[in-house]
Structure 1
Amino acid sequence: MGSVTELKAADGFKLAAYRAAPAGASKGGLVVIQEIFGVNHHIRSVADRFAALGYTALAPALFDRAERGIDIGYDEASVQRGIKLRAAIKLEDTLLDVAAAVGALKGAGKIAVVGYCWGGSLAFLSATRLPGLACTVGYYGGMIAAHAQEKPKVPVLLHFGEHDHGIPMTDVEKVRAARPEVQIFTYNAGHGFSCDERASFDKASHEQALARTLDFFGKHLKP
């Protein structure tokens, strides 16, 4: 089990974060970026699982600039609430908060960002805009195609579901064409396939994507 800590962004804003540490030496630091449902039970469990695998995981509460303590589920009302909260925060401010999490992981080893849904898009943008990273991994990020012309500064791995109603395969192909240096995998699954608390969870796709993610971290987070 992890604990809640506080981060301070470059503009002075203070936000909460969930931190989970490994039992032994850290194999690297991971900024775990939330979906549009806050740092909820699932995101905390993701951080805990990465910590159990030897990483220091930190999940910043990126909705704190709009409303603190967001921890919601996956019904339609929650989806609409999450969309509204996301729209209330400037992208530049969100990236300041991600950068604060990166800074807070210094001493944990090389640092990566891994994000899901909204966080998947932010993982890609972290690779193009933020310093201090060794690599990033994004799961089903819907904003990536719109920013595909931005060149990552570090290696990037992306996962998409082939039946994602929000991210058509034409968007994925747009990213492939613009960013041939980025590793992209698709799965016989829909959006949110890696979240075991959503109806769209697909165990086989999740396990395959996770194995690829861990291999990627093992390669790029080596001391």
Structure 2
Amino acid sequence: MPTESTIKLTASDGHTFQAFRADPADAPKGAIVVLPDGTGAAGKLRKVADAFAASGYVVIAPELSPPAAIDAATEGEPAKTVPDPAAPLLAEIQSTVDSVKECGKVAVVGFGAGGGLAYDAANRVSGVACAVSYYATGVVNAAGAKRKIPTLLHFGEADIVVPFAEVTMFRAYHPEVSAFSYPNAAHAFDGDGQTYDESATALAHDRTLAWISQYVVGQPPITLKNAGAYALAKTDKKKKKKADDDMGPPAD
């Protein structure tokens, strides 16, 4: 069973925020930062955390500051241009990643709005080995620059929030991104509501674990079938031929 706790983290601007953390029973293979789809996702968060922790990863999910809290924190300050409203959230994600770096390489996995943040963090947060997004909002219609780290996306083909036609166009613009789609799956197909799709959820989870295993844990070198046997056979043949030559013709 994973060990669960609530911890406090500090962002680069000095403000503190909470994060839920689950540690596996044994030494971790690495860490996964989970970005849920907005607030009120405690049930789904624990289910996701337990699944990843059971596979050997430290899981940490920050309680990101809502936009209203960010606005309130800047009230009374001199007026200034804020070119990037996502910057405070990315700073919190950066602090979250930094807090688990000692556990190994770090992946970021997001769902819905959190999936959009995970996609953004892939290019703008340091120390991330790979990113995975489920039915990410704000991605396919504003795809942005080429990805700097391996990125995996999951989309439902019956998603009315993220239309599949836009996903198809996104794939054409971003061939470097691995984007899987699931027939008949709706938005939040892995959630607890009416849109839950068991087969899509299971397949997406397996693909996510394989992706994280490849880029966080690292796979052993691939040994081709019979690798080395051919070279060994050639060497043995040469040795045998030389030995036969030394012995001369066979005796009657």
The 5 A counterparts of 1:1-12 are 1-12=3-14
- In the alignment, residue 52 of structure 2 is paired with which amino acid? F
Match of 2:88 in 1: 93
The 5 A counterparts of 1:140-151 are 140-151=135-146
Supply the distance in 1 between the matched residues of 2:66 and 2:139 (Cα, whole angstroms): 23
Q: Where in structure 1 are there 5+ consecutive unaligned residues? A: 68-88
Q: What is the CA RMSD across the aligned residues, in angstroms? A: 1.6
Pick the structure with greater CA Rg: 2
Q: Is the counterpart of residue 191 in structure 1 residue 169 in structure 2?
A: no
Supply the distance in 2 between the matched residues of 1:6 and 1:160 (Cα, whole angstroms): 33
SS in 2 for 1:146: coil
Kindly provide the CA deviation profile for residues 124-151 of structure 1, in whole angstroms up to 9, marking residues without a partner as x: 1111211101100000001112331222
TM-score by length of 2: 0.76
Match of 2:44 in 1: 42
Displaced runs of 4 or more, over 2 A? 63-67
2:55 to 53, 56, 59: 53
The 5 A counterparts of 1:1-223 are 1-63=3-65, 66=68, 90-188=85-183, 189-195=185-191, 197-222=192-217
Structure 1 pair 42/135, CA: closer, same or farther in 2 (3 Å)? same
Supply the distance in 2 between the matched residues of 1:63 and 1:55 (Cα, whole angstroms): 25
Kindly provide the CA deviation profile for residues 3-35 of structure 1, in whole angstroms up to 9, marking residues without a partner as x: 111111111121110000011011111000010
Structure 1 pair 209/61, CA: closer, same or farther in 2 (3 Å)? same
Match of 2:77 in 1: none
Supply the distance in 2 between the matched residues of 1:91 and 1:22 (Cα, whole angstroms): 31
Supply the distance in 2 between the matched residues of 1:4 and 1:65 (Cα, whole angstroms): 22
Structure 1 pair 191/39, CA: closer, same or farther in 2 (3 Å)? closer
In the TM superposition, residue 174 of structure 1 has moved relative to its aligned partner by: 2.5
Supply the distance in 2 between the matched residues of 1:102 and 1:148 (Cα, whole angstroms): 23
Q: Where in structure 2 are there 5+ consecutive unaligned residues? A: 70-83, 219-252
Higher RCO, 1 or 2 (CA under 8 Å, sep at least 6)? 1
Instruction: Tell me if structure 1 keeps the 8 A contact 2:110–2:132.
Output: yes
Supply the distance in 2 between the matched residues of 1:121 and 1:202 (Cα, whole angstroms): 21
Match of 1:77 in 2: none
Structure 1 pair 97/130, CA: closer, same or farther in 2 (3 Å)? same
